[in-house]
Amino acid sequence: MSQPALIFDNLTLGYDRHPVVHHLHGEIAEGALIALVGPNGAGKSTLLKSIAGELRPIEGGIRRRPGEGGRFAYLPQQTALDPSFPITVSDLVAMGLWRRLGLFGGIGRAGRVRLADALAQVGLGGFERRPIGTLSGGQLQRARFARLLLQDAPLILLDEPYAAVDAQTVQDMSRLIQRWHDEGRTVIAVLHDLDHVRVEYPEALLLARETIARGPAVEVLSGTNLARARALAEAFDEHAPVCHRHAEAA
């Protein structure tokens, strides 16, 4: 039996103590390939941010495997990166080595070899000196995937990895994600293309600020479940009272 990579214990998340994800329980097995799906505003990105440690729970918590098993690589939405920032592709990708080398450590010959190999794997061989501002959306996303390759983490978090990219990039990055899964890594991805999820992802978690369904993707993404998720998302009250329990921890 696989060990859990993550355990959700009555997890409630929100902003300014207004809950966005309510009382989430359960676990994600080590080596799982799981899609987070749901309507806009369902809490998918919020959950990923909390797993990555960027958002503290209002209530409950998340437990990751201790030690090296708890390491993760996080790909936030592409809009979180300013393409006008004056760095090259190699600068961006080399950030994936910071954990091993430290912020001011030189990458050395071995690091340069690994960097070139990561770029080759995502189809960007020879792009090392290109400013990131000259890249297309698909090329920039490939560079960000190369950075994930260098992080070499057992847990990979992807927030809308296919947003605003071309079909070939989707196909190529999907193959890379499948390879990570075959290697036994745990991959959790926020996705909107439900047809893609049904074909590529064995498991899905459908959120609408609470768990609607969890299990095999084809079963989770039924018409009944999707309709219930839409109804709950539309009924959400933006003026709901704040969550006072454990408010001091928020």
- pLDDT score at 148: 97
Residue appearing with tokens 């909390």? 50
Spans in the chain with pLDDT lower than 70? 1, 67-69, 99-106, 236-250
pLDDT at 105: 54
- Which pLDDT tens digit goes with each residue over 146-165? 999 999 999 999 999 999 89
Q: How far is CA 22 from the centre of its chain?
A: 19
pLDDT of residue 106: 64
pLDDT of residue 111: 84
**Structural domain boundaries of the chain?**
1-71+201-250
The class of domain 1-71+201-250 in CATH terms is alpha beta
pTM given for the model: 0.89
**Tens-digit pLDDT profile for residues 205-227:** 999 989 999 999 999 999 999 99
Q: What's the pLDDT score for residue 109?
A: 84
Q: How far apart are CA 140 and CA 218, in angstroms?
A: 31
Among the listed residues 62, 104, 87, 89, the one whose alpha carbon sits nearest the alpha carbon of residue 150: 89
